[in-house]
């Protein structure tokens, strides 16, 4: 007997990807419901070879729904996730609304699957930031082997991380450049076409941005609170796929060859690391793929026990939709939830 799944925010980039991945992976569903705001009611979205009509989240009764994949933004999640959880439906939330709540597990299944058992306190599980998800997948096996002391990460994040508006702005600006039209910046603080912007999310008092702070806080919560993390987050003119340059300092000795072997065996990781032209991954190749790709693995001679790695993943999949569905699979596979709807 299958589960009843609701996807809230089904008309957005991540919501649509959630529906695609549910179908692709053959998640055991009896029924899938697409939800969004009132203005999207009646819109059609695809689920496998079927078409679903979008219903209004505000009017939906979750009393017989098993899992709600929430991708409707932080404000909506703050309002609705506790109400949905109180009806016995488990919310897997893609926003930052619940990530730092001590009673809400923040889960990347390849990294801290056992922590998922704490979901029952609020019936909410948080999905991490897209940059954090791929980072900790790569760091976890290395941390297990040599214990990480410090991480310095620079992210190169695609415009899809800013939603459909971000993708539209890159397309529109690129076309404007080629036809010599004025280039307007609306979604981003500066022109994104043929440019990079060292600013994602709002600035904080210490000069870091909220996006950078998320990577720090979430890496500590998911992996190890003792790891020191610093981050610079940059928006780049790429449609899909986040990249990260990661410098890691370890307590114990680890060589580049050891790291390569460890990462080749690690769940969710795919190593593409040849010292030749094209012997590495770029975000273009990661689009539509599930893996966290790792390239440019090399020793850092400026510190004791240091490595540099290049990490790339599809931010709409492993960074968001795929990770959420892997969490749902974890709940099912461990028998932590059962279908509530009794078969007729």
191 labelled ligand-binding:
no
Q: Say if residue 184 is exposed, middle or buried (CB neighbours under 10 Å; 0-12, 13-18, 19+).
A: exposed
Number of residues that make up the chain = 344
Residue 130 designated active-site: yes
From the candidates 68, 89, 130, 231, give the one annotated as an active-site residue.
130
From the candidates 89, 143, 242, 269, give the one annotated as an active-site residue.
242
271 labelled ligand-binding:
no
CA 155 to chain centre: 14
- How far apart CA 95 and CA 316 sit, in angstroms, is 13
161 labelled ligand-binding:
yes
11 labelled ligand-binding:
yes
Residue 199 designated active-site: no
Q: Say if residue 318 is exposed, middle or buried (CB neighbours under 10 Å; 0-12, 13-18, 19+).
A: buried
Tokens 């039209």: give the residue: 181
132 labelled ligand-binding:
no
Nearest to 26 by CA among 8, 53, 3: 3
298 labelled ligand-binding:
no
39 labelled ligand-binding:
yes
99 labelled ligand-binding:
yes
CA 268 to chain centre: 13
Task: Using CA atoms of 319, 316, 70, 338 in order, give the dihedral in degrees to the nearest 10.
Answer: -70
157 labelled ligand-binding:
yes
Q: Using N-to-C axis directions, what is the helix angle for 322-333 and 13-24, rounded to 10°? A: 40
Q: Extract the annotated binding site for phosphate.
A: 99
Catalytic machinery residues:
130, 242
Annotated binding site: 11-14, 39-40, 99, 157, 160-161, 182, 235, 315
Specify binding-site residues for substrate: 157, 235
């Amino acid at each position: 007997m299958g589960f009843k799944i609701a996807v809230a925010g089904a008309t957005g980039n991540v919501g649509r990807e959630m529906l695609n991945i549910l179908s692709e992976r053959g998640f055991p569903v009896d029924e899938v419901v697409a939800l969004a705001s009132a203005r999207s009611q009646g819109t059609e979205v695809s689920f496998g070879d079927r078409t679903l009509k979008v219903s209004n989240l505000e009017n939906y009764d979750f009393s017989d729904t098993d899992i709600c994949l929430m991708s409707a933004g932080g404000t909506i999640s703050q309002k609705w996730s506790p109400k949905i959880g109180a009806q016995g439906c488990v919310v897997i939330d893609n926003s930052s609304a619940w990530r730092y709540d001590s009673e809400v597990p923040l889960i990347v299944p390849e990294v801290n699957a056992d922590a998922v058992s704490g979901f029952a306190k609020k019936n909410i599980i948080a999905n991490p930031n897209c940059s954090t998800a791929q980072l900790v997948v790569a760091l976890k096996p290395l941390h297990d082997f040599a214990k990480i002391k410090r991480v310095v990460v620079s992210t190169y994040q695609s415009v899809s991380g800013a939603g459909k508006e971000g993708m539209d702005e890159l397309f529109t600006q690129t076309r404007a450049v080629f036809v010599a039209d004025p280039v307007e910046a609306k979604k981003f603080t500066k022109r994104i076409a043929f440019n990079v912007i060292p600013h994602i999310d709002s600035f904080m008092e210490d000069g870091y941005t909220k996006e950078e702070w998320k990577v720090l806080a979430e890496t500590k919560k998911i992996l190890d609170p003792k790891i020191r993390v610093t981050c610079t987050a940059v928006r780049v003119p790429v449609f899909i796929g986040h990249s990260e340059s990661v410098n890691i300092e370890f307590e114990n000795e680890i060589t580049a060859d050891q790291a390569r072997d460890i990462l080749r065996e690690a769940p969710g990781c795919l190593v593409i690391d040849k010292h030749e032209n094209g012997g590495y991954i770029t975000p273009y190749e990661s689009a539509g793929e599930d893996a966290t790709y790792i390239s440019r693995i090399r020793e850092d001679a400026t510190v004791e026990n240091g490595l540099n790695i290049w990490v790339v993943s599809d931010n709409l999949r492993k960074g968001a939709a795929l990770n959420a569905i892997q969490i749902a699979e974890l709940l099912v596979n461990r028998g932590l939830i059962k279908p509530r709807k009794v078969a007729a």
